[in-house]
Structure 1
């Protein structure tokens, strides 16, 4: 699977998914993967399941409005380009009678055609007021859900409130750990329980969750061990302990890709991937940074001269080489080149700029050497192997933040265990 396909597909595991969920809620609706979906109502009073069929399936509903139609057109345009690009490369690899110059010319023209069509769709959204309407709707929905989560997490009486206990002790990668907390949070929301996060001894810091993030509650943060019952408990259970995401029996109805029933219609019309947007709302609430972290990020943003347009590039190395296919830096940058080539159709003087994140210090020097015509922004601390866990965690969060704010992202997907 080429990197290209990974730039527009939401993953199911790892830091990449954390990044993409954040980018979905921070930059609206530009990083999505499909609008071909069936809607299946769940048996719960407040969730609706979103079933995404396999590629090529005709098991989907087409809604008669401009929102869904526009997204279908965008998806079809992307799919057409992927098909064209892949087959042209395949033909060339078989020594088809087309020289390298002609091959590159055809590829360039095809890419320009797609970019023009995408630009036309963007103009359409601006002219009919769709872009501003969507922006307002996205803000209203996000504010609504953040207020709901705040009320859930700050009950009037913590002593009598029903709670769900989540242990942050999976001993896996950062993305894996965050996924576990998200699943706990979703189960807590679906069962109307306040989430209590037990993070003592978190592998990423000798402290706890509050070392970098604000607490999930201002008023309710502890439970009594004698009141804890294993999942699922019942309506009278004071505190339910949620197991690992792979283990809950029965499986909660509130897991991805479920969304709240009462906002499902609005959300489906707003967003091409409602389930990812909804999951991103939990992540947004969880990723409220401590004031000192906010200050560090603002200072770094100023020192980086972080400006738009910018592409985020996340190059995985070290232990990921054993878990997933290895990709050369050139394969990542091929997608970056395509993005800026599209922008140059309308702005020949556009500055090519990337924010580069990697766990391999040599990648930064390689990028500067091979791509001197790019502005390459990065956290310079990432070039140094830091033994202190808390400082490493701060740098990781900083990379996730800046990548999520990019206009376009180029990543690969792998397990983060």
Structure 2
């Protein structure tokens, strides 16, 4: 029931994983995930779209904290076949030059935006019987434990059984979401291009790695040993 947005992808994986090389499977899976993200986030029928508002509860956390939370919200949007949107007033400001907040650095999360919520909108949650409501709110910081669905298995790790070393399907999904979230806007892209030119790196391969913690940093520090 939690795989509405990715049902076609799953059917394709079942049929194809036994006859594809690992490299082909990995790349085609990535492209199909991107296609699903684009379908939901770059739709044109805004009046009939179903939205999931990523609520930050005005929590003054910094960039890593924010991008982690938004990626979590986007996972729920994928699974409930909704368009994830940000509430601009709820994003932490990095400085006076960033009045547009998230969009000060990155492209808009979605082509359709809905920011005006009604009084009853906060009562709807994407995993409850109200999941058919066109506007749901996902609060990653204040979720009632009983309202959160079972483990959100978007991709099955067994799809990579033939690989050695075996990668994590969850890491593949996170990577796709990060690459969507962190698309630089025109201003930032120009700054990156200028810097590459000044370093003589034009035309050279350009790779970016992003690390997202599994949990809050305090919990991470007390739960997992340094070596782990």
Quick check: TM above 0.5? yes
Aligned to 1:289: 184
**Is the 1:163–1:238 Cα contact (8 Å) retained in structure 2?**
yes
Name the counterpart of 1:91.
Answer: none
Give the aligned partner of residue 150 of structure 1. Answer: 38
Residue 222 of structure 2 corresponds to which residue in structure 1?
Answer: none
Q: Does 2:49 correspond to 1:161?
A: yes
- Counterpart-to-counterpart distance in 2, 1:206 and 1:190: 31
Q: Which has the higher strand share?
A: 1
Q: After the TM superposition, which parts of structure 1 deviate over 4 Å for at least 4 consecutive aligned residues?
A: 267-271
Equivalent in the alignment of 1:379: none
Structure 1 residue 287 displacement after superposition: 1.1
**Contact kept? 1:214, 1:290, Cα under 8 Å:** yes
The question of whether the paired residues in 1 share the 8 Å contact of 2:122 and 2:137 is answered with: yes
Residues 414, 191 of structure 1: CA spacing in aligned structure 2 closer, same or farther, 3 A cutoff? closer
* Structure 1 residues 415 and 254: alpha-carbon distance in aligned structure 2, compared to 1, 3 A threshold: same
Residue 224 (str. 1) matches residue 116 (str. 2): yes
Are positions 1:177 and 2:66 aligned together?
Answer: yes
CA distance in 2, matches of 1:195, 1:254: 20
Task: Tell me, in whole angstroms, the C-alpha distance in 2 between the residues paired with 1:403 and 1:285.
Answer: 13
- Tell me how large the CA RMSD over aligned residues is: 3.6
Provide the secondary structure at the position in 2 that maps to 1:229. helix
Alignment of 1:92-241 (within 5 A): 134-168=22-56, 169-200=58-89, 202-204=92-94, 205-218=98-111, 220-226=112-118, 228-230=121-123, 231-232=125-126, 233=128, 234-241=130-137
The equivalent of 1:65 in structure 2 is: none
Aligned pairs, how many?
190
Q: Considering only CA atoms, is the larger Rg found in Structure 1 or Structure 2?
A: 1
Report if aligned partners of 2:52, 2:136 keep a CA contact under 8 Å in 1: yes
Q: Is the 8 A contact 1:162 1:193 kept in 2?
A: yes
Point out where structure 1 has 5 or more consecutive residues left out of the alignment.
Answer: 1-42, 48-129, 308-400
Q: Which runs of 5+ in 2 are unaligned?
A: 7-19, 220-228
Equivalent residue for 2:155, pick from 260, 265, 271: 260
Give 1:398-409 correspondences, 5 Å limit: 404=209
